[in-house]
Structure 1
C-alpha cells in the first residue's frame, strides 16, 4: 500500500527505503541503474567495473548517517569483481557481515562509501522486474550481527519484488512521457516567428506528475498575399496517442490552409476528418476528438477572421490598453458533427496582441473556466504596456503558474499584429473590355517605376496581361487588380468567376493555352483563392 503511490522512479525508491526502516533494518539504501532513472532499460552487466548505478534513496532509523556513505544522486564508483557481486547480479539475495563486505570491496575509500560506521551486517536484494535487474536494495543492521532469518529474507524478497514492479511501471511511464514530449516538441512549429503580418511567440509546457501529454498545440501558417493563420488546439486523451492525433490534425489544417478557406469552412472539413479518425480507432479506450480555434489575419485590411470548435475565446489586447475577449460563437468540439461553425471578423489596430490559449493556462481554475478567464483577462490587462516584448509577456504568464507541475498541458500563442502601409500597395478596377488589358499594363508599369522596381517590369507586364486577358475572356464583369510590395512583389487579379484555373501544356500547333504556363515561368509561385463571389489569382515575384 505504501510503495508505488506515484509514477516517479526516485519517489518509489524512497518509499521502499522508508518502508524497510526500522522494521527490517537501521539503514536502507536503494541504488538504481542510471538508465532506469531516465526511463530506459538497464544494461545486463556481470562482474565489476563501472556499473552505471546511482544512489537513489536512503533512510536511517536514527534520522542521520555518518561518514562518507554515498548520498542520493551520487554515482557508483568503479567496483572490483567479486563472487558476492556476481551473485547479486544473477538475482540472488545475499547476507554478509561487515568484515566480508570490506574484504569484497578491498579499497578503504570504497568501504567508507558503502559501509556505514555503525553497520554490523547487511542483506542485499536485487530489484528484478520482467527479468531485468533494475538495481539493488541494501539493508544494514546495527548491533545485530546475526544474519537475517530465512523468514526475514523471504519477506524482504517479497517486498522488493513488489517495489520492483512499481519502479518498472514508473520507468516505462517516464519513457513514454519522454517519447511523447519529444514527439510533441518536434511536431510543434518554431516558438518565435516574424512576418509582414505578425510577430509571434508560442509557448508549450507539458503536464507533470504522471498526468501525461495531452496533445495541446499551436501553429502559425504563412498564407499568400502576406496573410497568416493562427491556430490553437487541444486533443482529447493523453500520451503518445494524443500526440499522434495532434500531429495528424496539424498536418490536415496546414494542408487545408493552403486552400485559403474561410475559418468556419476549414473547421467543418477538419471535423469530418476527426469523425473518420474516430471511426478508425481500434477501441473506445483512446477517444479521438479535439477543440480548436482558427484565425486568419490580413495586414492589408487589418481584419482578423476567427472560428472556434469548442475552444476558449481568444483575447485581443489593443494598443490603447483595453483588453477584451473576442466573442466568437463556439461550435462543438471537433468530431461531434452535425453543427455548423460560424466565423467572426473584426478589425485590429497595428500593434494589437492576439492571445490564443488552451485551458491549461487557466490553472489552478481550469475546472472553473469563468473564474479562470476572469483572472487571465485581469493579468493580461496588467501586462498590456507599450514596449513590453512578447517573450517577456509569455514568461510572466508562465511564472504566475509557478514551478509546480500542472495536471494539464499549457499551450498559448501571442501574436502582435502589423499592417502594410498604403504606400506599399495599389489597386485598380477595370471593365471587362479588351482595352482594359492595355490600361492595366500602363498603370502597373507606372507604379513599378514609382517604386523603383523596373527590374520586375517585363515579368510583371506579362503576368498582368495574361491574367487580365483570361479574366475578361472567361469571367466577364469588372476585373480587379492589386499590386503589393513587401519582401516579394505580389500581383492579384480578381474576377467574378468561380472556375478553377488549370495549368495545361499546349501542343505546338495550338493558338492558346499557354497563359498560366507563362505566369508560372515568370513567378516563384502562384495560386488562387475564392470569396463569396468570384476568385482571386495571385502571384509572387522576388524583388532583386
Structure 2
C-alpha cells in the first residue's frame, strides 16, 4: 500500500506540474479576498505572485522526486518577499497568515486532484493524509526560513531607528539658536530616513513674541530644509520664504489639531503645498506631517518626504518621526525662551547703562559693552562715568554674579546705589562699604530660588586739579594704566603746576597761595604769610598726599607716582560678604594717561593663561597710548586683540584719558579761624574773578564765599581753606576740620541766623558737602555766563 501511495503522489505531481499556474492563480485569488490590504503595495503583490508560483513548483517537485520536504530550501522569491514585508512594515502575523491561507487552499486543490485521479477510496484517503502531513512539514520548514529572513530585516530596521534616535539626541539642540536647531532637525531627518525634510515655524514665534494657536491661513516661515538632491529642487518653498497653508489642507489640519499624519501620494495627485514646479520628475509617494509641539504650544510643522527611497513610510516610521520631532520641539522651545529672555535682558542691560557720554572735562572716555556669545545668557556687567564736585569724575566698573534678567536687574539697582553714594561724595572705600551693605540687604530680601547675590566693583575718582586718582576695589580686577606719549604730561609726586592767579593790580594773590595746589598748612594765613615749606603745588593741605579741600589723607592711604602697566591694587572682598574692610590707594597721573577699567570677561581665554592675558592687555594699551589713539580706538584695539568672535563671558570696558586742569584756573587761600578773615576772602574772590574775566559773577560768588567761610569759622574748626576752581563751571570750596555737616533749616522771622545755606542754594546751581577723613568740604557751583 505504501508503494501504491508513493507512486500515486508521484503521478499526481508529474501530471499537475505543467498546469500549476492554474493553481497559483486560484491561490492568489483567495489571498486577495482574505488579505485585501496587502495589495495596496503593488510591488509586494507582484512579488507575492512569484513567491506562490515558486512554492507550488517546489512542493510538486519534491513530491514527484520523493525528496524530504524538510530538506528543501525556501525559494529565493519567498525570502525576498519576507524581506519586502519587513521593509514595508507589514506585520509578521500578516505574513504568516498569508502562508496559512496559501497552505489551506493548496491542500484543498490537491485533495480535489486526488479524487479526480482515483476511484479507490482507501488510496485517496491515505494519499490525502500523506499530502496533509507533507504540506504541514513543508510549510513549517519554510516558515522558519521566511521568519528568519523577515526578522533579520526587522532587526536592521530597529537598529537603524535606534541609530537615528541616538543621532537625533546627539545632534539636535547643540545650541540655543532657533534657526540652527531647525537645521539640525532637517539634517538628521535627511540622513538615511527621508529624501526631503522641511521645517516651518510660526511667524509670531520668529518675531520674538509668544507663539499663538495657528489660524487659517497659518502664517509660516520656512526656516530650514534638507534634501538628498542638491539645492532642494524638490521643495516648492525656498528657505527663509514666508508662506501660508491653505485652509483645509493637510498641513493646516495638522497645525490645527496637533495630530501627526501619514499620507500616500502619487505622481498624479501631489498636493499643491508639496508639489515643486515639475512633481512628476521626482516621484513622490509618501509624506509624514508632524506638528512641532512642546509644553502645550504649537511652534510649527515638520515634513518628511520620500521620493527617491522606494519603500514608503509606515506606522513605525511615523512613530520614529514623532520621537525625533518631539525632541526637536523641546529644543526649539528652549531656544525660543532663551532668545526671548536674552533679548529682554539685553534691552534691560542697555537701558541701564549710560546712553551717551557724560558732560565732564576731567577725562576723555569711551566705553563698550559686549554680551557673551555663549548659552549662559546675559550677565550683570556695567560701567559708569559720574561727574563729581570740583571738576572731579568717578569711573566705575562692576560685575554682578549670575546671568539673565535677575543679574541685569541687580546690576541696575547697584548702579543706582553707586550713583546715589557718589552724589554725597563718599570716598571710594567708604562707598564700597555702603554698597556692600546694600548687597547684603538685597540678599536678605531676595527669594532663595534666585540664588545668592554677589558682585564685584572698582570705584575710582580722578581730580584734574591735583592729577590724583583714588581707587578702591571690591573683589574686582585692577585697571591697566599706560603713560602718555612723549611730551604728554609730567610724572612724579610733588611736581609743581605753575604760579597762581595774580590779584587785582598785578600783584600776587598772596605768598602763601599757590595756583594749582591744595590749601596750605593751617598755619598759613590769608594775609600773605608764607606757607609751610613742606607744602607743594598740587598737594593737599598739611599732610602729604591730601587732596585739595579733602582734608588730610587717611593713614592707610597709599600715595604714589603714576603706576606703569598693571599696578598693584589691594583687592578687597566681593560685595555681599560684609564685615571686611576695603583699602584706598592714590596715584598721581600725568596728563594724557590712559586708564582701562574692565570686567574679567576681557581677560578670560581658553587659549591663554591669566598672566598672558594681562600682559597682552598691558602691551596693547601701551601701544595705543604711544600711537596717541583716542579712547574709542583703544577700546576697539583691546577688544580685537583680547577677544574671540564670540566671547564666553560678558565684557564691560571703560577707557579714560586723563586731563589736567590749567594751573591758572585754580586759586587757593588759607584762612584763620577769625571772623575778620571773611572780608579778606571776599577780596580774594573779587580779585581772582577779575583776573579770570568773570566780574559779572563777582557779587553772587562773594556772597556764597562769605556765607560758606562764615559757617566754617563759626561752626567748624581749623584749618580753614578756600579754593576757587574754574572749569566748565565756577566752583567755590571751603574746607574746615570739623566733620559735622551743615543742613538748611527754615529761619523764623526774628532769627538772626539760619539763612546762609538758603542763600547759597538760591544763587548756586548745585551745592553739597564732601566728607573727608578729617573734616569736610562745602562746595557750590555756578554756571559760567
Give the alignment's TM-score, normalised by structure 1. Answer: 0.93
Matched, 1:418 2:583: no
Matched, 1:177 2:342: yes
- Of the structure 1 ranges 141-150 and 212-221, higher mean CA displacement relative to structure 2 is found in 141-150
CA distance in structure 2 between the aligned counterparts of 1:116 and 1:481, rounded to whole angstroms: 95
Match of 1:205 among 370, 375, 389: 370
Aligned to 2:678: 437
How far residue 111 of structure 1 moved from its aligned partner, in angstroms, is: 4.2
> How big is each residue's C-alpha offset from its partner over 1:207-243, in whole Å with a ceiling of 9 and x where there is no partner?
1231211211111111111111111111111111111
Aligned to 1:531: 772
Mark the structure with the bigger radius of gyration. 2
Aligned to 1:304: 469
Aligned to 2:182: 13
Determine helix, strand or coil for the equivalent of 1:232: strand
Determine helix, strand or coil for the equivalent of 1:77: strand
How far residue 104 of structure 1 moved from its aligned partner, in angstroms, is: 4.1
How far residue 28 of structure 1 moved from its aligned partner, in angstroms, is: 0.7
CA distance in structure 2 between the aligned counterparts of 1:52 and 1:402, rounded to whole angstroms: 40
CA distance in structure 1 between the aligned counterparts of 2:309 and 2:634, rounded to whole angstroms: 61
CA distance in structure 1 between the aligned counterparts of 2:178 and 2:710, rounded to whole angstroms: 71
CA distance in structure 2 between the aligned counterparts of 1:401 and 1:28, rounded to whole angstroms: 41
Contact 2:267 2:280 (8 Å CA) reproduced: no
> How big is each residue's C-alpha offset from its partner over 1:135-173, in whole Å with a ceiling of 9 and x where there is no partner?
111111114577532222222222212211111011101
What's the Cα RMSD here? 2.4
Matched, 1:41 2:206: no
Match of 2:249 among 60, 83, 90: 83
**Matches for 1:197-276 after TM superposition, within 5 Å:** 197-276=362-441
Q: How many residues align?
A: 537
How far residue 39 of structure 1 moved from its aligned partner, in angstroms, is: 4.3
> How big is each residue's C-alpha offset from its partner over 1:402-439, in whole Å with a ceiling of 9 and x where there is no partner?
66322110111001111111111211111111221111
Match of 1:340 among 571, 574, 581: 581
**Matches for 1:324-473 after TM superposition, within 5 Å:** 324-364=565-605, 368-401=609-642, 404-473=645-714
CA distance in structure 2 between the aligned counterparts of 1:423 and 1:458, rounded to whole angstroms: 21
Aligned to 2:265: 97
Closer, same or farther: CA 113–530 of 1 in aligned 2, 3 Å: farther
Closer, same or farther: CA 386–21 of 1 in aligned 2, 3 Å: closer
Determine helix, strand or coil for the equivalent of 1:112: coil
How far residue 392 of structure 1 moved from its aligned partner, in angstroms, is: 1.4
Contact 2:358 2:386 (8 Å CA) reproduced: no
- Of the structure 1 ranges 370-379 and 394-403, higher mean CA displacement relative to structure 2 is found in 394-403
Aligned to 2:313: 148
Determine helix, strand or coil for the equivalent of 2:740: coil
Matched, 1:483 2:724: yes
Aligned to 1:168: 333
How far residue 309 of structure 1 moved from its aligned partner, in angstroms, is: 1.1
Aligned to 1:492: 733
Matched, 1:65 2:229: no
Closer, same or farther: CA 143–351 of 1 in aligned 2, 3 Å: closer
How far residue 331 of structure 1 moved from its aligned partner, in angstroms, is: 0.8
> How big is each residue's C-alpha offset from its partner over 1:54-79, in whole Å with a ceiling of 9 and x where there is no partner?
2222222355533674343x222355
Closer, same or farther: CA 152–114 of 1 in aligned 2, 3 Å: farther
Contact 2:467 2:591 (8 Å CA) reproduced: yes
> How big is each residue's C-alpha offset from its partner over 1:40-59, in whole Å with a ceiling of 9 and x where there is no partner?
322333222xx442222222
Unaligned stretches of 5+ in structure 2?
1-168, 487-562
Contact 2:365 2:632 (8 Å CA) reproduced: no
Determine helix, strand or coil for the equivalent of 2:732: strand
CA distance in structure 1 between the aligned counterparts of 2:443 and 2:278, rounded to whole angstroms: 56
- Of the structure 1 ranges 23-32 and 53-62, higher mean CA displacement relative to structure 2 is found in 53-62
- Of the structure 1 ranges 119-128 and 205-214, higher mean CA displacement relative to structure 2 is found in 119-128
Q: Relative to total residues, which structure has the larger strand share, 1 or 2? A: 1
> How big is each residue's C-alpha offset from its partner over 1:254-300, in whole Å with a ceiling of 9 and x where there is no partner?
11111211111111111122122223332266221011111000011
Determine helix, strand or coil for the equivalent of 1:340: coil
Match of 1:118 among 282, 292, 297: 282
Closer, same or farther: CA 323–405 of 1 in aligned 2, 3 Å: same
Closer, same or farther: CA 117–402 of 1 in aligned 2, 3 Å: farther
CA distance in structure 2 between the aligned counterparts of 1:307 and 1:479, rounded to whole angstroms: 28
CA distance in structure 2 between the aligned counterparts of 1:368 and 1:45, rounded to whole angstroms: 52
CA distance in structure 2 between the aligned counterparts of 1:453 and 1:348, rounded to whole angstroms: 30
- Of the structure 1 ranges 126-135 and 398-407, higher mean CA displacement relative to structure 2 is found in 398-407
Determine helix, strand or coil for the equivalent of 1:190: coil
How far residue 102 of structure 1 moved from its aligned partner, in angstroms, is: 4.8
CA distance in structure 1 between the aligned counterparts of 2:711 and 2:181, rounded to whole angstroms: 73
Determine helix, strand or coil for the equivalent of 2:276: helix
Contact 2:374 2:649 (8 Å CA) reproduced: no
CA distance in structure 1 between the aligned counterparts of 2:207 and 2:643, rounded to whole angstroms: 24
Contact 2:220 2:244 (8 Å CA) reproduced: no
- Of the structure 1 ranges 533-542 and 82-91, higher mean CA displacement relative to structure 2 is found in 82-91
Determine helix, strand or coil for the equivalent of 1:384: helix
Matched, 1:27 2:192: no
Closer, same or farther: CA 115–371 of 1 in aligned 2, 3 Å: farther
CA distance in structure 2 between the aligned counterparts of 1:139 and 1:125, rounded to whole angstroms: 8
CA distance in structure 2 between the aligned counterparts of 1:114 and 1:78, rounded to whole angstroms: 21
